[in-house]
Structure 1
Amino acid sequence: MAATAETNNDFFKSNVIGHPAGLFVLFFTEMWERFSYYGMRALLVLFLTSSLFDEGWAWPREQALALYGTYTSLVYLTPILGGYIADRYMGYRNAVVLGAFIMTIGHACMALDTPFALYLGLFFLVAGNGFFKPNMTSIISHLYVNHPEKKDGAYTIFYMGVNAGAFLGILLCGYVGEQIGWHWGFGLAGIFMFFGMLQFYFAQNIFGEVGKKPLKENKEVVFEDKNDKLNPFTVIDKILIVVSSVIGLVWIINDPMSKIGNTNILDFSVAGMDGSNFMILFALILFIFLLVTRILRYSEVVRDKMIAISIFAFFTVFFWAAFEQAGGSMTIFAADYTDRVLAGNSANIFRVVNTLITIIPLAIITWVLHKLFQQTFKNYALSNIFLGISFVIVWVIVGFMLYNQYLQENPEVPASWFSVLNSLFIIIFAPLFSKLWESKYNPSVAVKYGMGLILLGAGFLSLAYGASGIPTGAKVAAVSMIWLVFAYLFHTLGELCLSPVGLSYLSKLVPGRMIAFMFGIWYLAIAIGNKLAGTTGGMIDSITEEHSLSFFFMLFFFIPAGAGVLIILMRPLLRRLMHGIH
């Protein structure tokens, strides 16, 4: 601990807009990782479903969304293992560098135009993310361990880096992929992942000893409640974890294998039930049994709080199953059902708006970069050089993109462009929500969750209304863009109500010694939601042919909105289970 404290004192000597320079090393590393992730995510389904004429692979939508759902779900599962390995064997910094390097290889593979390279690339991206994602936030946590009063501000700045990366990644990779070539877009994501890795690697000494070595296991257990007790994993617990995890993983991977490659390893039936459905139901029953039996073995207060967290995790599944349609069915709606060709005043308005929302955030981030250079160039010149080169490339691409849009008489809005609205609206509205949660109007967590789910449903209601004039079974249409803009606005407002709140209450309700286990449950809930997003989104053609596209989006209104009303009605129960935590 002495080494950590000394490191923190040195760490806090530098200053960039009120925070240590080292925080901004993490800021830019995370920014480039999010750039690469969201840039690739924006292109994946578009590329797979685009026609051969457009140099896509012309996959059926169900197949593309099955692969998308499997990829995004695994992205939330591997950090559980990656965090464990870093804690005990590698240290956070080595894990971040290794994860970034593996993801760079993954993006490089996806720049190649072969099915094998695509699958290999996705495998590397999932594996690399497992090492990278959990350990960046762990570094911040340890750097600020003796400065808790500064931690909220540090995470706020870090979160802005996440959104800046997502915004630029979708904007630039989407533009390059759609206008120049899909694999150029995938490759661009890899270039910035590589620069992010180099920037972090050559500046990591700024963190002192933090994250350099794995943590020594702490045998001392602190009980927050005098009636609390240890609840060690039994042999049966461990068997249930392994069996349910293996079955779930096989099911997640088998889904796209069976639909894309006609290789179904769960091709059997049990009591008239399809083998795939039977196995995932069996795994779910085993997991619920494990969770219930473990919770019942805790003391009353801890038991109640864990039940509350489990209820929130359950509703989190519904949120992400709908929210992650952004990379699936909503992307398809933008590409095939939205009028994206602009003319006259509409074209001029888009040019001005797109220029402003691109240049202003990029100029602000570049100013922060300049401030960082002033503090760190002397000691970390190589890291700064790589970071500077990456920004030069960004400005060149931005200039090229905006120049071409002004040259075109009737510019076409890229289908991927609409996804940037989520990051843009977060940047605009996050400070307002933060103020609201600190005011006397701060609602209970159940109401926040309900508001988040209802607002999410409202976004799909907008799409359902916009699609109401599209004939049954239609594959293309030209609906106004305004309905997508409204959808992303409502979805972002819903995200701000639910996503940060869930993690905050998880940390408040769960005792410190069990935080890793419950974070694992939380990420599992998000992973299930992501997989369901791909599965349900893949039904877009079958539902549209039988009913209509408007009916398809109405389902995503009724389910999350209904879940939102239900959790609001559960407010008295949740208040009792939380035992005074507000």
Structure 2
Amino acid sequence: MSSDAPVGARPPAGKTFFGHPRALSTLFLTEMWERFSFYGMRAILVLYLTAAVADGGLDLGESSANAVYGTYNAMVYLMALPGGWVADRLIGARRSVLWGGVVIAAGHYVMAIPTGWSVFAGMALIVLGTGLLKPNISTMVGDLYERDSPRRDAGFSIFYMGINLGAFIAPLITGFLGEKINWHLGFGAAAVGMTFGVLQYVLGRRNLGDAGARPADPLLGADRRRALTRVGVASVVVLAVGLVLLLAGWFTVDTVVNLLTVVTVLVTVGYFTRILTDREISDTERSRMKAYVWLFLFAASFWLIYDQAGSVLNIFAADRTDRSVGGFTFPASWLQSVNPILIIIGAPLAAALWLKLGHRVSTPTKFAVGLVLNGLSFVLMAAAARAAVGGDLVSPLWLVAVYAIQVAGELSLSPVGLSATTKLAPVKYASQMLGLWFLATAVGDAIGGQVARLADTWSQPVYFLTFGLASVVLGLAAVMFTRQIRQLMAGIH
């Protein structure tokens, strides 16, 4: 019976976790704590960057802070590509997850140091660590099951519950500590969470069996030395560019953010060009990849708006909402917990709906629904911003309603896109397409960070209405071209 695990790997036997391999509990908790650290830090990042120096912040303008936030998110997803390569060709998924967790924890501890430079150094470490951990822990979950095991999808569903559980709890803790006591204490809480994740991963390694133990396609001998040399040269080039920027006086937050945005877009263009011009893929596979280009652009446009929840909408929560309940003003970052709890509630309902509808609703149509709902959430935000004109505080229920609409859009697009990625992938690039899907988020977040600069210069009602209507129009256009995209998909629904 075939398996997605590397040659020689087998699902571990022994005690079970909700009827699944015991190793799933180890990976579940590792991912939960990693997401705790990621979303916990992210919930207070923009608030810290924009807070006055007297309040312990960096007093960075909202424009630059939003761009930093978007670029940070983009780099996290962009680094999934080299992170997957390191696991597949050099050290295997298991060690990649371990070292990724260690580097992530180190990054959060650096951010906990109460100095201005620590936040940027810490984010750089977190980006590198997440690139190693994020794609490879999902690979290890797949290694626990036979390819055609009926428990495989259920196992991933349990695993993804860990993601949203960590994302739900994190802002409640880091937000209170960061906003009410000290920003760096909030960052420190994220560090402690990742430390818990690493410790339980090490203690639970005996449950993992052969999962992720070896590289899937290891580089050996001269090939390995050549690859490591190229990595070394690339690292030196990056450091040299940084040094040149520093000596020229151009090493500013905005310069680095703009440069990384350009790099993200160029990497994406290069990746698609490489696949579409590959003569080893068939005409059918090339046609499907052309369809995927459109789905990719729709997804990037979706994340451009959606991931502003932690930047533009987070600042709105802090400055424009009435958060007083019984004499207690709850932290603005607590509203970042709304999204994951709604996903936990809505995911089973969405799965049941798509199962019932079957092939009657195509993948492009589902993407279109996601774009329209995403746009409508910003149209609603325009109404909330209009109500807050003049300094009036509005109910936080406006944001709850916005997040509910966005989650409905996410459930229409994100899991469907992941499935479409695996179905449309050329055989030769099957193992790399998940990284390409992460690139859609990276591009959306990178460009979204630049777009969010406008929120500091445009009036908020105009900003939200402009991009909300743009997303709705794009979604309607996607509906109009659904037939053409389905033809390019060549029999894939």
Bucket of the pairwise TM-score, normalised by the shorter protein: 0.7 to 0.9
Partner of 2:175: 174
CA distance in 1, matches of 2:263, 2:95: 35
Give the corresponding residue for 2:386. 468
In the alignment, the residues of structure 2 paired with residue 258 and residue 171 of structure 1 have an alpha-carbon distance, to the nearest angstrom, of 40
* Matches of 1:281 and 1:171, distance apart in 2: 32
Corresponding residue of 2:309: 326
1:126 corresponds in structure 2 to 127
Contact 1:66–1:535 under 8 Å retained in 2: yes
Measured in 2, the distance between the counterparts of 1:505 and 1:278 equals 26
Query: Is residue 569 of structure 1 aligned with residue 480 of structure 2?
Result: yes
**8 Å contact kept, 2:264–2:443:** no
- Secondary structure of 2:150's partner? helix
Inter-partner Cα distance in structure 2 for 1:78 and 1:284: 11
Q: Decide which of 493, 496, 503 is 2:418's aligned counterpart.
A: 503
Cα–Cα, structure 1 residues 428 and 260, in superposed 2: closer, same or farther, change >3 Å? farther
Q: Is the 8 A contact 2:67 2:450 kept in 1?
A: yes
Quick check: 1:258–1:264 contact (8 Å CA) kept in 2? no
Deviations 1:479-507, CA, capped at 9 Å, x for gaps: 22121111000010000000111010110
Identity %: 36
Q: Specify the alignment match of 1:535 in structure 2.
A: 450
Report the Cα offset of residue 427 of structure 1. 0.8
One-letter code aligned to 1:437: W
Question: What is the Cα deviation at residue 279 of structure 1?
Answer: 7.0
Alignment partners' CA distance in 1, 2:306 and 2:363: 19
Supply the AA of the counterpart residue of 2:383.
Y
Q: How far is 1:122 from its partner?
A: 0.7
Deviation at 1:217, TM superposition (A): 5.2
Structure 2 residue 319 is matched with structure 1 residue 336? yes
**Cα deviation digits, residues 223-265 of structure 1 (max 9, x gap):** xxxxxxxxxxxxxxxxxxx99xx99xx89xx9xx999837858
- Residue 148 of structure 1 deviates from its aligned partner by 2.6
Paired residue for 2:284? 301
8 Å Cα contact 1:306/1:509 also seen in 2: yes
Q: 1: distance between equivalents of 2:96 and 2:264?
A: 34
In 2, the alpha carbon distance for the partners of 1:208 and 1:331 equals 42
- Pairwise CA distance, 1:282: 9.8
Is contact 2:64-2:254 (8 Å) kept? no
Q: Which residue of 2 is the match for residue 191 of structure 1?
A: 192
Cα 1:259–1:485 change in 2 (3 A) is farther
TM-score normalized with structure 1 length: 0.75
Residue deviations 1:484-532, cap 9 Å, x none?
A: 1110000100000001110101101113321234333322222111111
- Tell me if the contact between 1:7 and 1:207 (Cα under 8 Å) persists in the aligned partners: no
Q: Per the alignment, in what secondary structure is the counterpart of residue 467 of structure 1?
A: helix
Q: Which residue of 2 aligns with 1:98?
A: 99
Aligned counterparts of 1:86 and 1:128: Cα–Cα separation in 2 = 13
Structure 2 distance, partners of 1:112, 1:567, is 47
Change (3 A) 1:278 1:521: closer
User: Structure 1 290/157 Cα, relative in aligned 2: closer, same or farther at 3 Å?
Assistant: same
The question of 1:560 aligning with 2:467 is answered no
The one-character-per-residue Cα deviations of 1:170-214 (angstroms, maximum 9, x if unpaired) are: 221112211121111100000010110010012112111221222
Matched, 1:290 2:281: no
**Against the structure 1 CA distance between its residues 175 and 216, is the aligned structure 2 distance closer, same or farther, given a 3 Å change threshold?**
same
In structure 2, stretches of 5+ residues that fail to align are 220-232
Q: Which residue of 1 aligns with 2:47?
A: 46
| Match of residue 332 from structure 2 | 415
Q: Is the 8 A contact 1:295 1:306 kept in 2?
A: no
The separation in 2 between residues aligned to 1:537 and 1:184, in whole angstroms, is 27
CA–CA distance in 1 between the matches of 2:34 and 2:351?
25
Check if 1:458 corresponds to 2:376.
yes
Q: Which of 448-457 and 170-179 deviates more?
A: 170-179
Please state if 1:519 is matched with 2:437: no
**For 1:327 and 1:460, how far apart are their aligned partners in 2?**
14
Quote how far apart the aligned CAs of 1:458 are: 1.2
Note closer, same or farther for the CA distance 1:282–1:191 as it changes in structure 2 (3 Å cut): closer
Shift of 1:336: 0.7
Q: 1:513 to 1:149 in 2, by over 3 A?
A: farther
Aligned partners of 2:393, 2:179: CA distance in 1, in Å? 19
Larger radius of gyration: 1
Q: Distance in 2 between matches of 1:131 and 1:30?
A: 13
Distance 1:461 1:101 in 2: 42
Matched, 1:424 2:335: no
Q: CA deviation at 1:45?
A: 0.1
1:97 to 1:196, Cα distance in 2 relative to 1, 3 A: same
How has the CA–CA distance of structure 1 residues 434 and 319 changed in structure 2, closer, same or farther, with 3 Å as cutoff? Answer: same
Residue 488 of structure 1 aligns with an amino acid whose one-letter code is: Y
2:110 maps to 109
- Residues 63, 301 of structure 1: alpha-carbon distance in 2 compared, 3 angstrom cutoff: same
CA distance in 2, matches of 1:500, 1:52: 41
CA-CA distance at 1:556 after TM superposition: 2.3
Secondary structure class of the residue paired with 1:439: helix
Q: 8 Å contact 2:10–2:210 — kept in the other structure? A: no
Is it true that 1:143 corresponds to 2:144 in the alignment?
Answer: yes
Normalising by structure 2, what TM-score? 0.88
- Change beyond 3 A, Cα 1:297–1:177: same
Q: How many residues align?
A: 472
CA RMSD of aligned residues (A): 3.2
- Structure 2 SS opposite 1:112: coil
Q: How many angstroms apart in 2 are the aligned matches of 1:42 and 1:563?
A: 29
CA pair 67-170 structure 1, distance change in 2 beyond 3 A: same
What do residues 283-322 of structure 1 show as CA deviations (whole Å, max 9, x unaligned)?
4896388358516774221111111111111111101110
Please list every run of 5 or more consecutive structure 1 residues that lacks an aligned counterpart in the other structure: 219-241, 267-274, 343-408
Structure 2 residue identity aligned to 1:58 = D
Amino acid at match of 2:426: P
Q: Provide Cα deviations, 1:29-79, integer angstroms capped at 9, x if missing partner.
A: 100000000000001000111223432222111121121122111001111
The C-alpha deviation readout for 1:334-372, integer Å capped at 9, x for no partner, is 011111123xxxxxxxxxxxxxxxxxxxxxxxxxxxxxx
> Match for residue 205 of structure 1?
206
Would you say 1:437 and 2:420 are equivalent positions? no
Which sits farther off after the overlay, 456-465 or 36-45? 456-465
User: How far off its partner does 1:152 sit?
Assistant: 0.3
1:398: which partner in 2? none
> Against the structure 1 CA distance between its residues 497 and 282, is the aligned structure 2 distance closer, same or farther, given a 3 Å change threshold?
closer
Aligned-partner SS, 1:90 = helix
Aligned-partner residue type, residue 451 of structure 1: V
Give the secondary structure class of the aligned counterpart of 2:357: coil
The correspondence of residues 334-413 of structure 1 with structure 2, limited to 5 A, is: 334-342=317-325, 409-413=326-330
